[in-house]
């Protein structure tokens, strides 16, 4: 008992300041999360935005800075928190997290919306704005006095007014209050019946409550009171001591939570924000995978200030590889997973002067020069050259249940979602390298992995195929295809108010229907998740009727000879969009470098330089014309001594081309 009292005393002495609410709060326990929902559901009325993530998930890591950026813009209007699903199993199970990243929004402690996957900055803002409008609508309360006053005018014969208010209060989580959606529902019913409705007042004022303080002037009475309270601790029961300890731990956690925010990655000084210019860009690179980033690096080192347009979640197929990349020369060790390699590529390109814009290209106008690149959000960007490096997107089976159960067990990213199915039965569909890698990733945590392949042998590399075939947790079903993915609706908590979205009822995978390609017989196999890895299709639809496609390989761009030049001069193709044969990260990076060299050569041959720098030089020459005329012809010029090439050179003494 004395040890408990001493511990309580030490905890009480830690409180030295009241920390402000951080931009993004990292949840450390289910108890902390419940307390946060209760606080903002009953005291502040602020909506809570939750990011369920994992450090091993590439899209999660790419969404992290976006989540923090949006949180900073909404800091006074919503509460943003992160939940690590690897550490918080209870919360992951309670809120049925089946895919990562998953974003959920809460109002008054109640989950009201869920979005799965990399929704991007625009999606996150859009959904948050909608939740804020809903929170504003639900920030109302009907008091007993207001309801009695209403009935006195609308229906004086009504005597059981208190029972009406109680029914309304029972529909909400607010104890004894007719508030939120229940209050709005009651008001609508009364207006429909009587033509008017009771007066509703704001439940929350919008001002954050002032923190309670226990500081008092150092008077003798307060001192004696404190001594008396300390002296009475030995009279407390064990339950009371445990409750007091939990209370003080919560207080200590609140005071120290700001320090957690420092764990978030700070903005990298190498990344310079892109701003539209009055002159066309010299190089626009569409795509952020190995090909696009290699092109960005080479163009940046050539002083071309390239602009990379790609979603911040876009890192190509390499972004989704959770296994260690073993076949990229020079990369050895545990820190060589796909997301880490992509992150280092972006950092390196940015360090040498590449700019990045988080957007998606929807069209290209090559009918005039300079080219016009139309994006989804930024608008139209003019450029002298374009390097297309958009890569490829996952193919899907197109069978019943596949679309309906995405986010509920159907996925194309084992690295992102695999650990959510720890100690469960999962199915992988495919026979190439991607399917083998997914099966090996899943075998680390899943109880069993069944690989379904339509042929009698894998087309994957021998090393990966042998690993799969020899793994004790992996079973292979040869000459078999999927006919259907079976699922069920999960039971939802009882919602007595009217805001029930039937489309939001969660569904999860319970099994698959298999069919033999030899006998045609079907059978159902129970499983908890299905990972589809059956290849990819080039993302080139926005170039239809702009450049020529390879007639032998639908969707792939045709290039001229051994170069990266497409049928339109000034537009170049790199990576998987023009490579139906090899489709490797290293070959994509190599073609990205080649495209950058081709683009640089094209700009030089056509005299397309830096218009802004040239205009600045002309103006400077005019201003200094008189001075130049009086200069001695024997004066020393450091630029001539350097060989005339100054702009774009960013090399150390030891640095250089490889």
Residues with a catalytic annotation lie at 413, 416-417
Query: Which ranges of 171-270 does DSSP label H, i.e. alpha helix?
Result: 180-194, 220-231, 238-260
Question: In a 10 Å sphere around its CB, with 0-12 CB exposed, 13-18 middle and 19+ buried, how is residue 323 labelled?
Answer: middle
Q: Using alpha carbons only, how large is the chain's radius of gyration in Å? A: 31
Question: In a 10 Å sphere around its CB, with 0-12 CB exposed, 13-18 middle and 19+ buried, how is residue 99 labelled?
Answer: buried
Q: CB-based contacts of 608: which residues, under 8 Å, 6+ apart?
A: 282, 384, 385, 602
Nearest to 309 by CA among 243, 206, 400, 380: 380
Cis peptide before 370 (omega within 30 of 0): yes
CA atoms within 13 A on the CB side of 498: 11
- CB 515, CB 522: distance < 8 Å: yes
- CB 25, CB 257: distance < 8 Å: yes
245, two tokens: 């300890």
Q: Which long-range contacts (CB under 8 A, 24 or more apart) does 83-89 make?
A: 83/27, 83/33, 83/50, 83/51, 83/52, 83/53, 84/26, 84/27, 84/53, 84/54, 84/55, 85/52, 85/53, 85/54, 85/419, 85/420, 86/54, 86/55, 86/56, 86/419, 88/27, 88/29, 88/30, 88/33
Question: Rounded CA gap, 38 and 47, in Å?
Answer: 11
Q: CB-based contacts of 533: which residues, under 8 Å, 6+ apart?
A: 394, 412, 414, 428, 429, 430, 432, 434, 435, 437, 438
């Amino acid at each position: 008992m004395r040890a408990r009292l001493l511990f309580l005393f030490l905890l009480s002495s830690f409180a030295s300041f009241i920390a402000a609410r951080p931009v993004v709060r990292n949840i450390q326990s289910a108890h902390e999360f419940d307390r946060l929902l209760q606080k903002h559901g009953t005291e502040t009325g602020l909506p809570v935005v939750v990011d369920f993530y994992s450090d091993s998930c590439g899209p999660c890591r790419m969404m992290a800075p976006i989540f923090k950026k949006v949180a900073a813009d909404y800091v006074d209007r919503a509460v943003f928190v992160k939940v690590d699903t690897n550490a918080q199993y209870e919360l992951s199970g309670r809120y049925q997290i089946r895919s990562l990243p998953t974003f959920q929004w809460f109002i008054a402690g109640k989950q009201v919306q869920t979005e799965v996957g990399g929704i991007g900055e625009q999606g996150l803002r859009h959904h948050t704005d909608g939740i804020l409008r809903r929170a504003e609508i639900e920030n109302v309360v009907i008091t007993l006095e207001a309801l009695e006053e209403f009935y006195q005018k609308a229906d004086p014969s009504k005597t059981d007014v208190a029972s009406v208010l109680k029914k309304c209060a029972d529909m909400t989580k607010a104890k004894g209050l007719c508030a939120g959606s229940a209050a709005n529902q009651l008001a609508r019913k009364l207006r429909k019946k009587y033509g008017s409705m009771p007066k509703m007042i704001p439940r929350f004022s919008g001002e954050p409550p002032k923190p309670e303080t226990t500081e008092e002037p150092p008077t003798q009475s307060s001192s004696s009171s404190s001594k008396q309270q300390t002296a009475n601790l030995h009279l407390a029961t064990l339950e009371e001591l445990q409750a007091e300890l939990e209370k003080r731990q919560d207080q200590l956690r609140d005071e120290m939570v700001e320090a957690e925010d420092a764990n978030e990655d700070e903005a990298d000084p190498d990344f310079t924000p892109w701003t539209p210019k009055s002159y066309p860009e010299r190089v626009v690179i569409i795509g952020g995978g190995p090909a696009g980033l290699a092109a960005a690096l080479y163009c940046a080192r050539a002083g071309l200030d390239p602009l990379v347009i790609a979603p911040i979640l876009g890192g190509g197929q390499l972004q989704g590889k959770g296994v260690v990349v073993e076949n990229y020369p020079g990369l050895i060790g545990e820190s060589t997973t796909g997301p880490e390699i992509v992150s280092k590529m972006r950092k390196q390109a940015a360090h040498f002067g590449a700019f990045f814009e988080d957007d998606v290209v929807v069209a290209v106008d090559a009918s005039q020069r300079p080219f016009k690149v139309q994006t989804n959000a930024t608008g139209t960007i003019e450029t002298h050259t374009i390097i297309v490096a958009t890569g490829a997107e996952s193919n899907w089976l197109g069978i019943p249940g596949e679309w309906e159960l995405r986010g509920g067990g159907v996925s194309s990213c084992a690295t992102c979602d695999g650990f959510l199915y720890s100690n469960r039965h999962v199915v992988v569909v495919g026979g190439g390298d991607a399917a083998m890698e997914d099966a090996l990733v899943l075998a680390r945590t899943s109880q069993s992995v069944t690989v379904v392949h339509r042929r009698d042998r894998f087309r994957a590399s021998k090393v990966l195929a042998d690993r799969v075939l020899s793994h004790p947790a992996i079973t292979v079903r040869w000459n078999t295809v999927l006919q259907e993915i079976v699922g069920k609706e999960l039971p939802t908590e009882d919602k007595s108010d009217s805001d029930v979205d039937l489309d939001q009822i969660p569904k999860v995978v319970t099994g698959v229907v298999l069919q033999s390609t030899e006998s045609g017989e079907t059978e159902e196999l129970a499983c908890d998740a299905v990972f589809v890895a059956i290849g990819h299709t080039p993302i080139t639809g926005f170039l239809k009727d702009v450049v020529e496609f390879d007639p032998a390989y639908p969707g792939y761009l045709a290039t001229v000879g051994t170069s990266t030049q497409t049928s339109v001069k000034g537009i170049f193709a790199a990576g998987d969009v023009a490579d139906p044969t090899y489709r490797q990260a290293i070959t994509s990076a190599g073609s990205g470098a080649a495209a950058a060299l081709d683009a640089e050569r094209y700009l030089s041959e056509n005299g397309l330089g830096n218009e802004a720098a040239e205009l600045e030089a002309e103006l400077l020459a005019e201003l200094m014309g008189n001075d130049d005329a009086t200069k001695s012809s024997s004066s020393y010029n450091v630029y001539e001594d350097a060989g005339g090439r100054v702009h774009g050179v960013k090399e150390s003494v030891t640095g250089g081309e490889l």
